[in-house]
Amino acid sequence: MSETLELSFEDAARNYPIFFAEDLSTQIRQAVAALCAEGRRAVVFTDENFLNAQGAFLDASFGPKGESGGVSRLVFAAGEGTKSVAELARAWDFLGAQRVDRGGVIFAVGGGVVGDLAGFAAASWQRGIAFYQVPTTLLAMVDSSVGGKTGINIAAGKNLVGAFHQPRAVFVSTGLLQTLPPREFAAGMAEVIKYGLLGDLGLFEQLEAEALRVGSAGLGPVIRRCCEIKAGIVRADERETAKEGGRALLNLGHTFGHAVEQVAGYGAYLHGEAVAIGLVAAGDLSRRLGFIDAQACERISAVLAAHDLPLRLREPLSAEALIDAMRRDKKVRAGLPRFVVLRALGEAITKDGISEELARACFAGIGAGE
């Protein structure tokens, strides 16, 4: 049986459903059939690791490759390196070769990498075509498939090129997590812990009481709860324009984390691992500002560690390079970085005017070098 959550906007025509079930391949197949019946060309973007682990799900949802009427697939190399200008260009060439017109649709079947790239390809192809999110990692189920942030990385920084482009629906098949490698599951848990910290103390305490694993009975409801929190925030501030708080709160731990990802080289740390280290730094910053105490910081570290996440850098990275990367964050206004900090566990706020010295101290706390 599937459950549904609706992400609603002021313009109801843009609303979309998020479906949750163990296996939604039948519903996806029906959606594809309905699109084809309207004469619309559907294509699938996925990556090689997902194809190898879950080829049967792809066949059940989209028809076996090569089958007449089957949906054409573009398969990317797995990993953060795929969120690149070169792979985006490959996606555009594929859409051209497949004669995808303005009525065409892309199904993004994979983790956040495929979702972000496919979403941006959809946003840019012929000035915008429809796309569907089929998240297959925990991180994509709780975060990246919802809310319409799409994009790629460039040398100057993470996600610096992209667009807000909402999907038409999100299909969350939780059974797919059975084949997800443990390190990738842990990376997704970093974003789950982020949701508890930024807006749901009860969720944070639940994660403190018992670490979630793939088979945990509580996992399905937690995935849904994260989508609920994200949907509420996105509905209120879709394009992250609020003067205070708003969608920027979803960036808790990311100002530090994105700097780590970029300076270490994309892929050296998984996004979720960098976010985990960033959450430690954001907790430390909140303590230095007098909002939370050392005991609260220890609780953050303990929950992250219980979910097999790193708390500091494996090897020192240049503090200069990290500060420089941080200055290129999209939340910078008039040259000054804006941080997301914790006023308390379960309550985040945005904070301007953080000095470079303070940010430097927090980077030192997670093991940055000179």
Ligand X SMILES: NC(=O)c1ccc[n+]([C@@H]2O[C@H](COP(=O)([O-])OP(=O)(O)OC[C@H]3O[C@@H](n4cnc5c(N)ncnc54)[C@H](O)[C@@H]3O)[C@@H](O)[C@H]2O)c1
Ligand Y SMILES: O=C(O)C(=O)C[C@@H](O)[C@H](O)[C@H](O)COP(=O)(O)O
* Active site members: 127, 149, 191, 230, 240, 247, 251, 254, 258, 271
Q: Which tokens sit at 38?
A: 């309207």
Q: CA distances (Å), 53 to each of 81, 108, 135, 214, in order?
A: 20, 16, 14, 16
Answer for which of 104, 147, 196, 337 binds ligand X (CB under 6 A) is 147
CB of 251 to ligand X, least distance (A): 10
Residue number of the CB closest to ligand X reads: 112
String of contacts with ligand X for each residue 126-145, x by CB under 6 A:
----------xx-xx--xx-
- Assess 184 for contact with ligand X (CB under 6 A): yes
Residue closer to ligand Y by CB (options 299, 338) is 338
Q: Of these partners, ligand Y, ligand X, none, which one is at the site of residue 136 (CB under 5 to 8 Å by kind)?
A: ligand X
Among 238, 233, 54, 83, smallest CA distance to 151 is for 83
Nearer to ligand Y, 58 or 359 (CB): 359
CA angle, corner 163, sides to 27 and 225, nearest 5? 50
The partner residues of 161 in beta bridges, in order of sequence, read 152
The residues that touch ligand Y, with contacts defined as CB under 6 A, are: 143, 147, 149, 158-159, 191, 247, 250-251, 254, 330
Is position 166 an interface residue for ligand X (rule: CB under 6 A)? no
- Residue 247 binds which one of ligand X, ligand Y, none, with CB within 5 to 8 A depending on kind? ligand Y
Name the one range near ligand X by CB under 6 A: 9-17, 75-83, 97-105, 201-209: 75-83
Q: 191: annotated binding-site residue?
A: yes
Q: Is 253 in the site for ligand X (CB under 6 A)?
A: no
Site membership for ligand X, residue 283 (CB under 6 A): no
Q: Which residues are annotated as a binding site for NAD(+)?
A: 112-116, 136-137, 149, 158
Give binding residues for Zn(2+) as ranges: 191, 254, 271
